Amino acid sequence: QVQLVESGGGLVKPGGSLRVSCAASGFIISDFYMTWVRQGPGKGLECISYMSNTGNTIHYIDSVKGRFTISRDNAKNSLYLEMNSLRVEDTAVYYCARGSSGPARWYYGMDVWGQGTTVTVAS
Amino acid sequence: SFELSQPPSVSVSPGQTANITCSADNLGRKNVCWYQQKSGQSPVLVIFQDTRRPSGIPERFSGSNSGNTATLTISETQAIDEADYFCQGWDATTEAFGGGTKLTVL
């Protein structure tokens, strides 16, 4: 069964750090573009970071660049997002999602999503 | 970067056709996907490559993309289609999500 399961969310103070994880099953994450998408309370979707299947292409949106780091562990078939210098505006549900296998990252859309993990940044 | 505009809400009667639009300059030159998100759930892909449906998505869902506007059309709308719908536009160098449209089936 193709599945993504996120974990690691929680409550953290502004300026703090957190690492969220995404465990994949039923497919190999290094065969696909993988992305982290967040959704603030009552807000829309925002693709904040993605990694290509080869690992050679990594992208961040400007608001998280220098603070967040995407990585993966092929042996554990897992994707990670290390978040540092967290801000109140980073409060959101964080989803990992599967993209395409190949050079066009969303050629088949984001076709598999996890259930999300909630990150709350508050003092 | 670019921004995608969606109407905040659309209402439709059961059995009727719902059209949800997504607009940006020259959006027809980009690829568009559509995602359905029911309350408290994760998004689900319903359209990719402007017009294609993933397996398991009912034929009632269709998409188009031309000029400055992409449209998600839901024919014979059912109560179970009530959800938020987000468009995503992308090309080789950039991407964006629309702000989402809440579809209400009255």
**How close A8 comes to chain B (CA, Å)?**
17
Q: Where in A1-123 does DSSP place strands (E)?
A: 3-7, 10-12, 18-25, 34-39, 45-51, 58-60, 68-73, 78-83, 92-98, 112-113, 117-121
**What is the structure's pLDDT at B93?**
85
Q: Is the pLDDT of residue A121 over 90?
A: yes
- Cα separation values, A121 from A9, A61, A84, A85, B69, Å: 10, 19, 11, 10, 37
**How close A95 comes to chain B (CA, Å)?**
8
Four-residue CA torsion sign, B85, B52, B42, A9: negative
- Cα separation values, B106 from A21, B75, B76, Å: 39, 15, 13
> φ and ψ at B21, to 5 degrees?
-105, 160
**How close B102 comes to chain A (CA, Å)?**
11
pLDDT band at B1 (very low <50, low <70, confident <90, very high): confident
A41 reaches B (C-beta below 8 A) = no
The pLDDT tens digits of the residues spanning A36-70 come to 999 999 999 999 999 999 999 999 999 999 999 99
Residue showing tokens 């969303």: A106
The pLDDT tens digits of the residues spanning A61-117 come to 999 999 999 999 999 999 999 999 999 999 999 999 999 987 788 889 999 999 999
Nearest to B97 among A44, A104, A105 (CB): A44
**What is the structure's pLDDT at A102?**
73
Residue-wise burial string across A97-113, b where 16 or more C-beta atoms lie within 10 A, e elsewhere: bbbbbeeebbbbbbbbb
A107 reaches B (C-beta below 8 A) = yes
A109 reaches B (C-beta below 8 A) = yes
Kindly state the DSSP code that residue B25 receives in the 8-state scheme: T
B44 reaches A (C-beta below 8 A) = yes
Nearest to B48 among A97, A109, A113 (CB): A109
**What is the structure's pLDDT at B92?**
86
Kindly state the DSSP code that residue B54 receives in the 8-state scheme: P
Q: In chain B, which residues have their Cβ closer than 8 Å to the Cβ of A106? A: 31, 33, 48, 88, 90, 95
**Number of neighbouring beta carbons within 10 Å of residue B26:** 11
**How close B79 comes to chain A (CA, Å)?**
22
Residue showing tokens 């997504």: B22
Inter-residue contact B22 to B14 (CB < 8 Å): no
- Cα separation values, A22 from A3, A91, A114, B102, Å: 10, 18, 8, 28
Q: Among A33, A43, A45, pick the best mutation site for testing chain B contact (most B Cβ within 10 A).
A: A45
